[in-house]
Each structure stands twice: as structure tokens, then as C-alpha cells.
Amino acid sequence: MEFRYKRVVFLTGAGISAESGVRTFRDGQGLWENHKVEEVASPLGFKRNPALVWKFYSMRRMQANDVQPNPAHIALADTLHALGKAGARALLITQNVDTLHERAFGALPNKDFIDVHGTLSRSRCTKCNKVFSDRWAYFDGQQHVIAHHCDNLWSHPALPNLLTTPRRDPSGLPLSPCCSDLLRPDIVWFGEKPQGVERAIDQLTSCDLFVSIGTSGNVYPAAGFVTVARKAGAHTVSINLEPPENSAAFHEHLNGLASEKVADFLKKI
């Protein structure tokens, strides 16, 4: 397969997963499922009440496990494979933690994929920061401890550092195999630094096509990636239900559902 572009960067946000039925957790009053955002998604919240945080993320893992990648995730995964085979350089940056890109791809090779806000499918040691693939929901919907491994979560191959039977503390919280200290979700919480931004910028400064899909363009640093790509001389395209907030920075805007527009657009690159 031949491609017009040889160095491509994709950026995705919540809109690409909307048609999979991924729930967003924030309502108008800064609450997630009746919890204050800072209680369940901040380092201080975790320090104060790790059980509440793990109950919340166990629920999110189970909800994510109930939804499937949609045609937009699949078209993007196929195109990344094809670009790689054709000798082009391609990078997918996502702001989503929902695991749907990972699952559409099988298991995304690290060099082609950056989840700047982390992912529900990893945990890390609170002591040494070692990262693990973690398919567990530790608490059920009634917030009771789940003692057994839930096999169907994140069942894609080639998971690095897979936690098979993590040790638990007496209250059911998971402990890291490396330091026997608490594990935490590998999610970028409020007040924390997004992951992999330097690597993203490196590829943005030399890309010839930048495509943003399903993101409102108001959360930085991702909202600024288009400007970096454009300065590098890339053609810049946004695919979204509505023009994003940073729409002035794009050469082209394609209005519509990701499940329809993404596959159509990718046929032309």
C-alpha cells in the first residue's frame, strides 16, 4: 500500500470512543459518580483514601471492559499497521484512558503509541514507579473485594509485566511485586504531568500530516500539538462533531461522526 504522507501523527480524544458507549464520569458539578474529582483522581485523594480510589477505578475498568472498539479505532489501528509496513513513521497519541486503542490494535508497540493521560490497563508501584499491565478489577459494583482474577479484562496478547496474581493487603488493596508497596492506577491525575510529551513533540516537529480526532481542543498540552505540527510544515486536519476550540490552527476540518469520517479520510492519505 502506498501513502502520500510518510511521517504521520494522530491525536485522539473522548469523541473517538463516544460511539463505543464509553461513559464520561464528570457531571456539571465537578463530581464523578458522586465523588468529588479530587477525591478519586488526585495524588492527595489516593493518599487519604486509596480504597475509595481503587473502588472507583475497579468500576471504571469493568465499565471499559463492557464496551468495544468501534470502526474508528479499528480503521486507525489498520492504518498504523499499514503505514508501518510501508516504511512510513506513524504515531498515535491519545488522551483517552479507556484501552480501546490498545484493544483495537492487539497490543500497541510502545514506539507507535503514547497515552498522555495514562490508561486503565496499567498500574504502577507507589514506591519505585515500576509499571505493570494490570487486568484486575479489585472491587465489585457493591464495592466488595473481588478475590479472583477476572479473566476477560484486557485480554490482549503481549502485555509487558503482566500482573497475574497480585498480592493484596488485608483490605484487598493490590501490592506491587517489586516493593510490596501499594499499587496505584497508571492514570495521570489532576496536578500530575502528562506522560510522553517530549517524545510526542519530537515526532510532531518532523511530521508531514497531523490528524486530530474527537477532541474539543481545550486541554493542554494536547491542544497545542497542532500548532507544533503546523510550524513543522505538516498538513493539519481535524475530524470532530463540531469545530474544536483550536480550529483556527487546522488547514481542514471534517465535521461528523468519527465512525464514519475516520475510515473515509484514512483511505486518502
- Which residues are tagged catalytic? 117
Give whichever of 18 and 93 is closer to ligand APR, judged by the CB atom. Answer: 18
Nearest residue (CB) to ligand APR, 161 versus 216: 216
- Return d(Cα 180, Cα 249) in angstroms, integer: 48
CA atoms 128, 134, 138, 139: torsion sign: positive
Q: What is the DSSP string of 106-158?
A: SS--GGGEEETTEEEEEEEETTT--EEE-----B-TTSPBP-S--TTTT--S-
Contact residues for 167 (Cβ-Cβ < 8 A; gap 6+) = 174, 175, 177, 180
Q: Note the residues at the interface with ligand APR (CB under 6 A).
A: 13-15, 18-19, 95, 117, 214-216, 219, 240-242, 244, 257-258
Q: What residues have CB less than 8 Å from 62, skipping those under 6 apart?
A: 137, 140, 141, 153
Distance CA 82, CA 80 (A): 5
Dist. CA 208–CA 56, nearest whole Å: 40
Contact 32, 55 (CB under 8 A): no
What's the order of all strands across the beta sheet hosting 209-213? 113-115, 89-94, 7-12, 209-213, 235-240, 252-255
Instruction: Compare residues 174 and 214 and give the one whose CB is closer to ligand APR.
Output: 214
Nearer residue to ligand APR within complex by CB, 15 or 69:
15
